[in-house]
Every structure is written in C-alpha cells, then in structure tokens.
Amino acid sequence: MHFKPYILPWANREAQNCYRDLTQWVERELENDMSKQAFLGRVAETAVRLATIRAAGRGGARARVDLEDMTWGADVANLALTDMMTRVRDWLPQTPRGEFAEKLIQVIQQSGSITRRQLQRRIRSRYRTQEVDDILRQAVEAGLIKRTPNGYTAGDAT
C-alpha cells in the first residue's frame, strides 16, 4: 500500500508569514540557548501540522491553512513544548538505588510500623547494610518515615 500525502496550501500570505515568523523566533531562541533545541526545534513543525489538521477538519481536501489555523497551531505547540521543556528540567532520572529507596519507604509506610529486623527480612540482603542505613537516614531527614526505638514508622509525608 502506498500513501500519497495531500499537502494543504496556505490560504494567504499572512498564514505563511506566521509560520516564517515562528521559525525565526525559534532560531533566535536557540541562538541564546541551544539546550532548548530538543523542544523548541520542533515548535514550528508541530504548529504547522496542527494548523493543517485543523484546516482539514474544517474543509477537507479543499481546505487551506489560514492565519487563524496557524496562530492556533503555534499557540498550542508553543504551550505544549515549553511546558514539556520546563517539566523535564525539573525531573531527575530514576536510578536503581532510587527505585530501591522508594520500595523501602513504601514497605515501611504500608506496614505502619516495622522493626529493623522485620525490614531486613523483607529486603533479604539485596543491599549492603551501609546503603540501607544511608537510604533510611535520608528518608527520615526528608520526613518520609520516622525512626522509632525498635525500627521505623510512616512519616508526615504519607
């Protein structure tokens, strides 16, 4: 099966200029900060695709991409990609130690209260004692769990 795409033309010079202006804005932004490339580099492409879909939804095969379509597509693409860029900057990738720490804290929170011995039995020596102690200390400092005389209990952040 071969698919021959149908390319919708611009309705007017203003719509085409909107695309050109968006492309130039992206280039200026990237000159100032190339770390945005992975996201902003796709704004113009995404905007024109959204504008084309919107125009085709309105007029089918006879549709033309107008200024309103292009402005809408640019706004949606810019919002989505800049929001994604902001969220990614604040996100830390998960590590095996981080996954283990989350599971360890979850065991304590689900138990409500657990002795150190019970906890050791649950984790079955998967990590060295020093690493487990470090993880537990950090979780206590973060308020995720509380240290008790015999072990641990759920903290304030549950």
pTM above 0.75, yes or no: no
> How far is CA 82 from its chain centroid?
11
Q: Domains along the chain?
A: 13-89 (no CATH), 96-154 (1.10.10)
Q: What is the pLDDT of residue 5?
A: 77
As a whole number of angstroms, the distance between CA 11 and CA 18 comes to: 12
Q: What is the pLDDT along the chain (158 residues), one digit of tens a residue?
A: 888 877 899 999 999 999 999 999 999 988 888 877 888 888 999 999 999 999 999 998 899 999 999 999 999 999 998 888 888 776 767 788 888 888 888 989 888 889 888 888 888 767 788 888 898 999 999 889 999 998 999 876 44
As a whole number of angstroms, the distance between CA 51 and CA 43 comes to: 12
Q: What is the pLDDT of residue 92?
A: 67
Beta carbons within 8 Å of 92's beta carbon, 6+ residues apart: 98
Q: What is the pLDDT of residue 14?
A: 97
Q: What is the pLDDT of residue 158?
A: 42
